[in-house]
Amino acid sequence: VSFLDWAILGATLLFIVGYGTWRTRGSRDLNAYLLGNRQAQWWSIGLSIIATQASAITFLSVPGQAYDDGMRFIQFYFGLPLAMVLIAAVAVPIFHRLQVFTAYEYLESRFDRPTRVLAASLFLVQRGLGNGLSLYAPALVLSAILGWNISLTVWLIGGLMIGYTMVGGTRAVAVTQQWQVAVIFTGMVVAGYLLVHYLPANVGFGDALRVAGHQGKLNLVDFHFDPKDRYNFWSGMTGGLFLALAYFGTDQSQVQRYLAGRSIRESRLGLLFNGLVKVPMQFGILLIGVLLFVFYQFNAPPLTFNRPVREQLATSTQYAPALRELEQRHATIAAAKQAANANLVNALHADDPAQLANAEARLQVTNAATQGLRTDLQALLKQGAPTAEAKDTDYIFLSFVLRYMPHGFIGLLIAMVLSAAMSSSAAGLNALASTTVVDIYCLARPKDDQQHYVAVSRWATVLWGVLGIGFALFAARLENLIQAVNILGSLFYGPILGIFVVAFFMPLIRGKAVFWAAILGQLAVLLLFWQTDIAYLWYNIIGCFLVMLLAAIGQKLARLSR
C-alpha cells in the first residue's frame, strides 16, 4: 500500500464522515434525530436501503463464494423483489398512517405493550450481536491481508461510525450512505474492468465466461427441488422471500430507512427501487468472483489466500517442510491448469470438438489434483494451525486487489470495503438506539422533554457502538462470515415476522395469544437449531408459521375458556 493509496483512502473516508457530520448536526427533537423530520425522497430511501444491506461482508465473502461455488448464491435474492412489493403494499401505509418511530411501536397499537417490548427486545439481541459481527468481519480480513492490528481496525471503523451517527442521527446515516454507495459502485466497476483487462491478450470477456461455464461457475439457476440444498430456485423463492420479508419489514435498521420517507409514495418507491436494483447488483458482485476465478486459471494463485496462516506454518520447524512440499505440488498443478485452460480457449476459438474434449479431460485431471491438494492442506492446517480458519474464500478479493491492482485503485477498493462496513453498521446502530429509546426508555420515562430524549438517543448510540466493538474484539472465528450473520438473523427473524404477519393478516388475534406464541415459537426455533441440522434459511419460515399457528390456537383456547 503506497502513499497514494493511503491518501485516497484517508481523503475518501474523511470527506464522507466529515460531510455527513457537518450537514446533519444539531437535531433538537426525536422526529428530527431518528427520522430526519420525515423528509427523505425515494432515491435517498432506496440508496439507504441498499447501503444498509450491503455490508463489508458482502464484498469480501460474496466474490469468494462465487470463486469457490459459482454464481448459484444469486438465487438467495429471488424472493427479495416480491418481498419489496408485499411490504410496499401492506406495511408502508400502516406504518405511515400511525406515524410510528419504530416498527415495534405499531405492535402496541395493534396488540399490547408486552408484545411490543418482546419484539423490540428480540431485535435488540439479534441486531446487537449482528452489528458486532459486521465490524469484526472486515477487521479480520483487513488485518490478515494488510497486516493491520485487528483491534485498531475495529476501533477505527467503529469509532468513525459512532461519531457521525451520534452527531447527526438518521440523516447522517442517510447522507453518508449516498456517498458510500457512490464509492461502492465505483469500486465494483473498476474491479470488474481491471479483472477483464488483466486476462491474457487472447482471452476476452466472452471467453472468460465460457471458461467459467465449462468449470461449472455459471450455475445461476437450478430448478431441481432439494431441501438439503441451500441455494436453488425454490429455497430462494420461499426461504429467501421470508428472510427478505423479515429483514425489510420488521428489522428496524431497514424499517427506519423508509419510515423517514416524506410520504407513502416516497417510501414505496424507495423499496421498489431496491427490488429492481438488488438482483443485478448481486449478479455484478458474483460476476467479479467468477472473473477472479478465471483470472486465477491463467495466473497461479497462492496455496492459501489466508496469509497469516501460511506464515504460521512457514515459521514452524515441524510443519514448514510439509508446507514446502505442498507448495511445490501446487505450483506444478497450477502450471498444468494454465496450460489446460490455454488449450480450452484455443479449442473454443477453433470450434474443434476433439480439441475441446481433450482440453476438458486435462482440466478434469488438474481439478482432481487440486482437490487432493486441498484435502492435504486441510489436514496440515488441522495439525499445524488448528485454530485457523480452513476456508480462505473471504480473503480472495482483497488479496487480488493488493497484489495486482495499480496504486491508487488499492486505496479506492479498501475505501469501498470500509464504506460498506460503516454504511450497514451505522444504520444498525441508529436502529438500536431508536428502539432502545422509543420502545424501552420512553415507556419507562414518558414525561421527559424532547431534548432529553435526543440526548439519551445519542448516549444509546455510543453505548451500542461500544458494545458492538467489544463483541467484535471477542468474537470467535467462524467458518464463513456471511453465513454466520445470516444464521443469527434467521433464528430470530422467523418469530418476529410471525408477530407482524399475525398483526397484519389475522385481525381476530389479540395481544396475549401472540405474545405467548412468539415466546414458544422462539424457544422451539432455538431447540430445533440445537437438535437438528435443518438449513438455516428454513428457520424464517418455520418460526413465522409456528407463531401464526400457536397464536391461532391460543386465541381459540382463550375464547373457549370464556
Residue range at the interface with another protein (CB under 8 A); choices 80-88, 152-160, 296-304, 348-356:
80-88
Binding segment for another protein among 9-17, 32-40, 275-283, 479-487 (CB under 8 A)?
A: 275-283
Side chain identity at 79, as an amino acid letter?
A: G
Largest CA distance in the chain: 82
d(CA 221, CA 476): 34
* Beta carbon of residue 351, minimum distance to another protein (angstroms, whole number): 15
Pick the binder of another protein from 38, 171, 268, 458 (CB under 8 A).
268
Least Å distance, CB 497 to another protein, is 16
Interface residues for another protein in 433-452 (CB under 8 A)? none
163 vs 22: CA distance, rounded Å: 11
Query: Closest CB to another protein among 281 and 413?
Result: 281
CB nearer to another protein: give 84 or 485.
Answer: 84
111 binds another protein (CB under 8 A): yes
Name the DSSP letter for residue 76. Answer: G
Residues 7-66 that bind another protein (CB under 8 A): none
Position 93 contacts another protein (CB under 8 A)? yes
Grouping H, G, I as helix, E, B as strand and the rest as coil, residue 40 is strand
Rg (CA), the chain: 25
Three-state helix/strand/coil letters over 1-14 = CCHHHHHHHHHHHH
Determine the size of the site formed for another protein (CB under 8 A): 47
Of 148, 198, 233, 298, the one binding another protein (CB under 8 A) is 233
**Residue bearing cell 430524549:** 453
Q: Which stretch binds another protein (CB under 8 A): 224-232, 319-327, 419-427, 501-509?
A: 501-509
Applying CB under 8 A, which of residues 97, 445, 477, 559 lies at the interface with another protein? Answer: 97
Q: What residue type is assigned to position 545 of the chain?
A: F
Spatial CA neighbour of 18 closest among 162, 164, 183: 164
Rounded (10°) angle between helices 252-259 and 113-146: 100
Q: Interaction with another protein in 531-550: which residues (CB under 8 A)?
A: none
Least Å distance between CB 184 and another protein?
21
Could you tell me the CA-to-CA distances from 265 to 89, 159, 175, 340 in Å, in that order? 11, 35, 20, 56
SS3 call for 261? strand
196 is an interface residue for another protein by CB under 8 A: no
Cell triple for residue 237?
Answer: 423463492
Q: Find the part of the chain contacting another protein (CB under 8 A) among 79-87, 196-204, 239-247, 292-300.
A: 79-87
Among 485, 510, 540, 550, contact with another protein (rule: CB under 8 A): 510
Among positions 18, 227, 280, 321, the unique one binding another protein when judged by CB under 8 A: 280
Alpha-carbon distance 284 to 480, whole Å?
Answer: 21
* Concatenated DSSP letters of 218-286: ---------TT-SSSHHHIIIIIHHHHHHHHHH-HHHHHHHHTBSSHHHHHHHHHHHHHHHHHHHHHHH
Can you read off the three cell numbers belonging to residue 497?
415476522
Query: Which of the ranges 57-65, 268-276, 309-317, 381-389 carries the binding residues for another protein, by CB under 8 A?
Result: 268-276
Select from 45-53, 85-93, 123-131, 332-340 the region that touches another protein (CB under 8 A): 85-93
Pairwise CA distance, residues 522 & 239, whole Å: 17
176 in Cβ contact with 421 (< 8 Å) = no
Among 150, 190, 264, 388, binds another protein (CB under 8 A): 264
Which residues, other chains included, contact 268 with Cβ-Cβ below 8 Å and sequence gap of 6+?
42, 88, 92
276 binds another protein (CB under 8 A): yes
Kindly indicate which of the ranges 16-24, 73-81, 320-328, 411-419 contains the residues binding another protein, using the contact rule CB under 8 A: 73-81
Task: Take residue 51 and report the three cell numbers written for it.
Answer: 447501503
Of residues 1, 4, 82, 156, which one binds another protein by CB under 8 A?
82
What minimum distance in Å lies between the beta carbon of 219 and another protein?
6
Give me 187's grid cell.
469500486
Tell whether residue 503 is a contact of another protein (CB under 8 A).
yes
Q: From CA 483, how far away is CA 468, in angstroms rounded?
A: 19
- Give residue 438's identity as a one-letter amino acid code: V
Q: Is 360 in the site for another protein (CB under 8 A)?
A: no
Contact 132, 57 (CB under 8 A): no
Site string for another protein, 201-230 (x = CB under 8 A): --------xx-xxx-x-xxxxxx-------
Which residues make up the interface to another protein (CB under 8 A)? 74, 78, 81-82, 84-85, 88-90, 93-94, 97-98, 106, 108-112, 209-210, 212-214, 216, 218-223, 233, 264, 268-269, 272, 275-276, 279-280, 283, 503-504, 507-508, 510-511
